[in-house]
């Protein structure tokens, strides 16, 4: 019976190996523009549960604002699994600023991932961590 079970396990392992080998994982989205500076400014900056505005600022290596970025998206995840993420899209305001309405839906630790497609086509990705207090 040990042999029988070992055979079972071997088949399972083989099936998994085939499944995983057959569908290699795509590389995760990475920052293609390390020379570009992306900052995130909460307004208000009290960091409590509730709605707020998040300003994304893009500047090049010389500090000049970058306008014309597309698909500036924000995604807020809690550190704990199981919470619905907060998704938002930021709209350009000029002077390198992109503004989004956002909501801290729960107190705790948040990771906000900002992605922006720069005018030259490169993808800028930056993560920010916030500790949000109860309201």
Partner 1 sequence: MSTPSNPIDPPLIRLEDVVLGRGAPPPRFDVLRAPLLGRLLKARNGRLLLQIPFLLVAVLLVYDGLTGPQLAPQNLATVTVWIHTRGLVIVAALLLGNVFCMGCPFTLPRTLARRLSGRGRRWPRALRNKWLAVAAFVAFLFLYEWLDLWAGPRLTAAVIIGYFAGAFVLEALFAESPFCKYICPLGTFNFVANTAAPTQITVHDRDVCRACPGKECVNGSARVLGCGTELFPPAVRSNLDCVFCLDCARACPYDNVALAVRRPGQEWTAGAPGDGVWPRRWDVSFLVLVFTFAAVSNAFGMVPPFYDAQAWLAGALGLTSEGARLALTFVALNLALPAVAGLAAAALSRALVGRREPLRVAFSRFAPAFVPLAVAIWLAHYGFHFATGALVIVPVLQNFLLAHGLTWLGVAPNWSLAAILPGEWLLPLQTAAVLAGFAAALFAGNRLARRDFDDPAAAVRAFVPWLLVLLALAVAALATFNLPMEMRGLS
ω before 44 within 30° of 0 (cis)?
yes
**Residue 107 C-beta: closest distance to partner 1, Å:** 4
Shortest Å, Cβ 97 to partner 1: 26
By CB under 8 A, tell whether 9 contacts partner 1: yes
Q: Which two three-digit tokens encode residue 79?
A: 């550190």
Residue with tokens 């400014």: 41
Please give the residues from 86 up to 115 whose contact with partner 1 meets the rule CB under 8 A.
87, 106-109, 111, 113
Contact indicator for 111, 81 with CB cutoff of 8 Å: no
One residue of 43, 84, 101, 120 binding partner 1 per CB under 8 A: 84
> Does residue 12 bind partner 1 (CB under 8 A)?
yes
CA 31, 34, 36, 41 torsion-angle sign: positive
Query: Pick from 8, 18, 43, 46: which binds partner 1 (CB under 8 A)?
Result: 8
* Strand arrangement of the beta sheet that strand 91-94 belongs to: 37-43, 50-59, 97-104, 91-94
* Residues lying near partner 1 in the complex (CB under 8 A): 1-2, 5-6, 8-9, 12, 16, 20, 23-26, 28, 49, 77-85, 87, 106-109, 111, 113, 129, 131, 134-135
């Amino acid at each position: 019976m040990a042999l029988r079970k070992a055979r079972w396990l071997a088949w399972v392992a083989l099936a998994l190996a085939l499944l995983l080998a057959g569908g290699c994982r795509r590389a995760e989205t990475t920052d293609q523009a390390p020379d570009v500076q992306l900052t995130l400014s909460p307004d208000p900056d009290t960091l409590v549960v509730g709605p707020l505005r998040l300003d994304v600022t893009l500047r090049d290596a010389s500090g000049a604002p970058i306008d014309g970025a597309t698909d500036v998206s924000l995604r807020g995840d809690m550190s704990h699994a199981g919470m619905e993420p907060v998704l938002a899209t930021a709209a350009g305001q000029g002077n390198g600023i992109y503004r989004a309405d956002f909501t801290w839906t729960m107190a705790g630790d948040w990771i906000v991932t900002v992605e922006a497609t720069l005018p030259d086509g490169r993808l800028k990705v930056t993560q920010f961590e916030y500790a949000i207090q109860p309201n």
